[in-house]
Each structure stands twice: as structure tokens, then as C-alpha cells.
Amino acid sequence: MGEYSGRFLPESLARAAIVEVGRRTYLRGFVAANDGNISVRIGDDLVLATPTGRSKGFIRADELVKMTLSGRKIEGTLAPSSEIKMHLKIYEARPDVMAVVHAHPPICTGFAVAGIPLDKCVLAEVVMTLGAVPLAEFAVPSTQELAEAVAERIRGCDAVLLANHGAVTVGPNPFAAHYSMERIEHLANISLVARLLGGEKLLTKRQVEEIAEVQRASGSSLPPLACKTCADSTCPPEELVGPRERRDGQPAPDFDVALAPMVSEQLLAQVVRVLKEELAEL
């Protein structure tokens, strides 16, 4: 995969890549049962997609469905994923995208269910690779309305949370899209723990600018959709900026506070234990 430099993957390689990404997605616990879907562009008007009703952990290469970008099936005995409208709309909105992965990673989906985008500048690695992860407003799964909502958000980024649903990531190949899914789940895990401990300390504008300079020096650049730091008129360039208030409307505590008052020691211990178990599987 890394040695192939063409725009479209050869069909045999694309089929193998979808199968492997499906297996990884399932083993990471990003999907349950038959959830999730993956697609890859293999030509100017050709797409390979996972079929409906099949676990992504056990899918076979010969079960994949070949379609046109207009949605016409041209090969395959099974029906395509019910979310294929979303995939096709993304390809229409982003001609540079060659692969789409949709899954339900538990922690970032929790943020999506809570209506919270992952758009704060908290991790340098995420600032450099993904930028902000916005939230697409809720639309019924498998509908054209959902496809339109996601396409509108995905124009300026490579990962989007779907309100009360899950997440979708895109990339130049299925592995890149999968890695972006891993990144947003990792970011969501860290953000959750930070919020339980009182809130994230955000990177300042100056720090983000320094990250951008490092990117430029390496011949790269930050993602087009920048993450949030704080309001332009109130952001002190030399200070770390934390959350403006807690859920109860009171000012956020100082960051040397060990635990937010509304969170019990038992709940924090439980969350940390779950995260350790998840990381141990990597």
C-alpha cells in the first residue's frame, strides 16, 4: 500500500485493504455486530463498498459491492451498505478523497451523543494531522439528509462526528481513513479524562502558530479547518486557557484541583480502568 503511488488503488489491492481495515475496525471495538461501513474509489466512476448485513470483522473480498458514483450497482451479489448515500456524497464533495470509513467508536460517539465536537486545540499531534473535528447535526441514518449534512461538514476536514450516531473519516486510502478514526477516538479518550479532572488546558494561539511553523519547515501545513483555542479578543498569547465554566455554570476550577467536584473517585477509577484495558489491546 505504501509503495503504490497511483491515484486509484488497483481493485485487488482495494479489496484486500477494505477487508483488513474492516478487521481492524472490528477488533478495536469501533463497531458492533454488523455496524459500520467502508468504501474505496477505484476509478473515476467506480467505488468498492462493504455490503449491508455483514460484520466488518469477517467480511470477504468477494462480498464487496462495485458501484458507480451515481449509485448504480455493477457487480456483487449483495446489497451495498445502507449508508452508501453518505459515502457517495462525500466523494462528490471531496474529489481528493479516495476512501471513507464510518464507525461508532464508543468514546467519540459519546461526545457525538452529548452534542460536543472535538474542536479544541489540546493535542499537538491532532492539531497537525486532523485539526478540528466538527459535529454534523442529527439526521436519520441512511437518508439523503444525513449525506448532505456530512458532506457539508467534511469539505474542510477529514473527520466528522455524527450527532447521536457515530463518526466518519476520509483519506487517500482506507488505512489513512482508519488511522484518522483511531486518532479521534484517542483524542476523545484523553479529552474525557481531562474533563473529569477539571477540564483541558488548551494550547494558546502562539503555540498553535509554532506548531504551524514546524509543519511549514517540514514541507507540510496544518489541516484547513483549524481547531479552537479561545475568543480572539480574550486569548492571552502567553497563557494556557482552560474551559470557561463547568456544567453547573460556575467558573472552572484551577487546574491544580485533582478532581472536578461533580465526579466521584469511583467513577474516575472506573473510567481509567476501562481506558487501560483498551490501550493494553493495542
- State how far the alpha carbon of 258 is from the alpha carbons of 246, 262, 264, in Å: 15, 12, 11
Segment holding 110, helix H or strand E: helix 106-113
- Diameter of the chain measured on Cα atoms: 60
Segment holding 258, helix H or strand E: none
83 catalytic? Reply is yes
| Backbone angle region of 64, left / alpha / beta, with phi > 0 → left and psi within -120 to 50 → alpha | beta
Q: What residue type is assigned to position 164 of the chain?
A: N
**Which of the residues 3, 63, 75, 83 is marked catalytic?**
83
Tell which residue, 195, 208, 178, has the closest CA to residue 268.
195
- Map grid coordinates 486569548 to a residue: 235
Residue 78 has φ and ψ, to the nearest 5°, of -105, 160
End-to-end CA distance of the chain: 21
Classify the C-alpha dihedral 218-220-221-222 as positive or negative.
negative
Q: What residues act catalytically?
A: 83
